[in-house]
Structure 1
């Protein structure tokens, strides 16, 4: 029996609001200021939660949260909320407010451990060592709440996955095609396959997982074919493009700011490391909440 060959992908340039460079955007494009009345609504939710009473509706915040959902899915892929009362009640209360707000946007990502993780920075290896590494979690949105951020702390660096895709295409179409091919990888101890770039049903999605691919290559399965030689060249090119200063947008959150991004469209360079909840305070400290959402590029682009 002849096994049909899978047609090779034919990448096309990505377009739309999610394809941007740092020069394309101003703070007004990604910052959402929250007024005192909207902040008071979330304060009321926290008060009700502490009293084990029914939470009041977020009638004034609802349009803002709808705008956040749209920005993450069909807009620039990220935004920053400024003015919510996260910094008024302490870290424990801030976590409760973050969970309450996340429940209005989607569902908390299920899995082991606490739903909200504590992150500090920079990580032990330092943000500038080796090629850039980016968030690649299997979720639809990541919410990072700033609790502390020293003036000399490294900024948060975001890149548009669509802009990276287009620049790789401009430099080498053949290597871009390699990045559309599923590659074996190991994540959370499990073996699977996934391409960096996918396009299914008109939905573009991207997950950069070079460490997971390298983990699979270093522990090959019996009978498995070795990685193609062009794979390393493709990942090297991807690293070089991600490091381009013209593509990177640098954001310096203030305490109380909430940065949200869709990791299928926007990659954030890792400058934080997860620590236990009882770890000592740090000059740079964040809470992270991962969400799944009703409309998910992840499930569209990664069919079971």
Structure 2
């Protein structure tokens, strides 16, 4: 009896606008300034939210949001909107307005009871290997919107890396390690075992999702039927971590109150610098809101729960 084996993937260098390093970019590549008329339209939406009234149509903002969707899917993979009055009407109105904007981009996904999640500054991590591993946003969605309501002057910057540029640098250093990162590995997510590769290309569409901690958690608490990690996966993860830590690759942003940062987590990896907080927790020097969005043109190659 012949046993069929799946051919190993044959990675190729990634190209296109979403493959960048920090030195390649200027603010014009990612900043989307908003004019006074568009800002006034959101102001009206915030005022309606404060009065618990239906939001007005965002006719002037709609073309800007359509451009944002294109930037996330086929452009740099991220952008920042500046000039919107999100921070002028209180957190509740900002949450409602953020949800309205998200509905223009796609389908907002529920979090713990609400699509909009409160994030505040993350306490310093302890020592050890877990702290040394970069922690990126790995939400199962096509876009993440992070709204800044407050950001202390001494807050750490927000770091973004191009997953395509990371891919290419790993390929340059060690093709065998890159091949390991194309192989699905079991990871533990929401208590369930799921196979997933870091890098995938399906129908010509590149996507990347880095979940080292979830993979190692599955390896230390094996589930029935789970295969052990391949011998080359941990060294491949170590190389990936080293590449992600390269200062030349990472773009550092310092959002201002009212700024809205949007990124496609399958093309751009953002370091986690914030932690989820309950809505009734005391105010913090760093106040953000997160909205996860499913979009019409999805790079998710495996059906994942919303």
Whether these two folds match at TM > 0.5 is yes
Match among 208, 211, 218 for residue 210 of structure 2? 208
Cα distance in 2 for partners of 1:223, 1:72 equals 38
Cα distance in 2 for partners of 1:58, 1:226 equals 52
Cα distance in 2 for partners of 1:283, 1:45 equals 26
Instruction: Specify the alignment match of 1:12 in structure 2.
Output: 12
Cα distance in 2 for partners of 1:51, 1:154 equals 35
The runs of at least 4 consecutive aligned structure 1 residues that moved more than 6 Å come to: none
Moved more, 45-54 or 211-220: 45-54
Cα distance in 1 for partners of 2:210, 2:113 equals 24
Cα distance in 2 for partners of 1:146, 1:49 equals 18
Cα distance in 1 for partners of 2:191, 2:223 equals 14
Q: Map Cα deviations across residues 159-183 of structure 1 (whole Å, 9 max, x no partner).
A: 0000000000000000100000000
2:268 is the alignment partner of 1:266:
yes
Match among 274, 277, 282 for residue 275 of structure 1? 277
CA shift, 1:54, in A, is: 4.3
2:61 is the alignment partner of 1:61:
yes
Instruction: Specify the alignment match of 2:249 in structure 1.
Output: 247
Instruction: Specify the alignment match of 2:88 in structure 1.
Output: 88
SS of aligned partner of 2:194: strand
Q: Map Cα deviations across residues 74-106 of structure 1 (whole Å, 9 max, x no partner).
A: 000000000111011011111111111111111
Instruction: Specify the alignment match of 1:150 in structure 2.
Output: 152
Cα distance in 2 for partners of 1:49, 1:296 equals 30
Instruction: Specify the alignment match of 1:292 in structure 2.
Output: 294
What's the TM-score once normalised by structure 2's chain length?
0.94
Confirm or deny: 8 A CA contact 2:198 2:209 kept in the other structure. Answer: yes
Cα distance in 2 for partners of 1:111, 1:89 equals 23
SS of aligned partner of 2:57: coil
Instruction: Specify the alignment match of 1:70 in structure 2.
Output: 70
Pick closer, same or farther for the CA change 1:144–1:223 going to 2, 3 Å. Answer: closer
SS of aligned partner of 2:132: coil
Pick closer, same or farther for the CA change 1:51–1:172 going to 2, 3 Å. Answer: same
RMSD (CA atoms): 1.7
Gaps of 5+ in 1: none
Cα distance in 1 for partners of 2:54, 2:280 equals 30
Instruction: Specify the alignment match of 1:32 in structure 2.
Output: 32
Confirm or deny: 8 A CA contact 2:47 2:89 kept in the other structure. Answer: no
Moved more, 171-180 or 102-111: 102-111
Instruction: Specify the alignment match of 1:193 in structure 2.
Output: 195
Confirm or deny: 8 A CA contact 1:122 1:154 kept in the other structure. Answer: no
Pick closer, same or farther for the CA change 1:73–1:126 going to 2, 3 Å. Answer: farther
Q: Map Cα deviations across residues 240-270 of structure 1 (whole Å, 9 max, x no partner).
A: 0000000000000000000000000000001
SS of aligned partner of 1:146: strand
Q: Map Cα deviations across residues 41-70 of structure 1 (whole Å, 9 max, x no partner).
A: 112223334445443322211111011000
Cα distance in 1 for partners of 2:30, 2:50 equals 32
Match among 152, 169, 187 for residue 167 of structure 1? 169
CA shift, 1:114, in A, is: 1.8
CA shift, 1:26, in A, is: 0.6
Q: Map Cα deviations across residues 117-141 of structure 1 (whole Å, 9 max, x no partner).
A: 1111133417994121111111000
